[in-house]
Amino acid sequence: MDNLEKYRSKAVPKFMHTSSYDQVPFSNDYGSTQDFPAFGTDDFANNPEPRCPVILLLDTSGSMRGTPIQELNAGVELFRDELLADALASKRVEVAIVGFGPVQVIQDFVTADYFNPPKLRAEADTPLGAAIETALDLLQSRKDTYKANGIAYYRPWVFLITDGGPTDHWQTAARRVKEGESKKSFAFFSIGVEGARIDILAQISTRTPLKLKELRFRDLFQWLSSSLKSVSRSTPGDEVPLLNPATPDGWASV
């Protein structure tokens, strides 16, 4: 049985026999489109794809200098490539990058086909609190844009990666993260690179912070892109199960 046949025979709608009309049972040769008159339409509403926004909140402070920032850059590039390789994810996933410090929107929201990963440079201190607030503001304004344009969207993700501890006031940001998580305004993930203040991350994020093993940024972004592919494919009501990255083979530990 070739694929098409399998497709058709599986799709035979037996259930339609609920009607009191005596229907001709569909047989296996049902698949031939020649047997039926033309019916349908070629005119569809031209609705844009629903969007799946993700913000990468990346530590670009001085302590990331050297191999860490290089690996992070390579990870972001891989992330773009993985999204591009997926027909749906490339149209639905929108990426923004907020770097700290200093806090700056390095990349506003774009779909993968317009995403040209910038070279991140490591400099300055770690104003984590201000960076989170900038990211959440950016996210809110993106949601407003979606709403104004009638574009449906998935629950946004904020993905924080840091190797240090905040050098600014972070308690307001933590409160906003907790509020947002409880209202399901977004999902906030935090990843600590070697040297990160996991104790503070745990106070900011309601999800358990993950520790990146070694400098496995590429594995991390591979996981992120495949998770986003699942989300961008999900349909109403779906709770998308994510692969646990904190397994012996995974890129993270708790």
Partner 1 sequence: MNQWRYVQAYSTGTSHYANNLPCQDRTVSKTIVDGSGQEIFLAAVADGAGSAYRSEYGAEIATKLILSKIEDYFRQGEVLANLSREIVGNWIEQISDQICELANDEGLGLREYACTLLAAVVKPTDGVFFQIGDGAIVIGTDEDYFPVFWPVTGEYVNSTYFITDKTSLKELQFKSINNQLIEDIALMSDGLQGLALQFATKTAHSPFFKPMFARLAEESNPGLSEVLNASLKNFLDSERVCNRTDDDKSLILSTCRCNLLSQPKSKEELNSNEAL
Site of interaction with partner 1 (CB under 8 A)? 7-8, 10-11, 13, 15-16, 18-21, 23-24, 26, 30, 33-45, 47, 50, 88, 149-155, 184, 231, 233-240
User: Which residue bears the tokens 């149209």?
Assistant: 91
SS3 label, residue 182: helix
User: Taking Cα atoms as reference points, which of 55, 192, 68, 70 lies closest to residue 119?
Assistant: 70
Minimal distance, residue 156 CB to partner 1, in Å: 9
Nearer to partner 1, 36 or 66 (CB): 36
Nearer to partner 1, 151 or 202 (CB): 151
Phi/psi at 74 (5° precision) = -65, -40
Nearer to partner 1, 41 or 116 (CB): 41
SS3 label, residue 31: helix
User: Which residue bears the tokens 């317009």?
Assistant: 114
Minimal distance, residue 50 CB to partner 1, in Å: 4
d(Cα 30, Cα 34) in Å, to the nearest integer?
10
Minimal distance, residue 17 CB to partner 1, in Å: 10
Minimal distance, residue 7 CB to partner 1, in Å: 7
Nearer to partner 1, 1 or 45 (CB): 45
Minimal distance, residue 39 CB to partner 1, in Å: 3
Nearer to partner 1, 106 or 153 (CB): 153
SS3 label, residue 246: coil
Continuous segment of H or E residues that includes residue 230 = helix 217-233
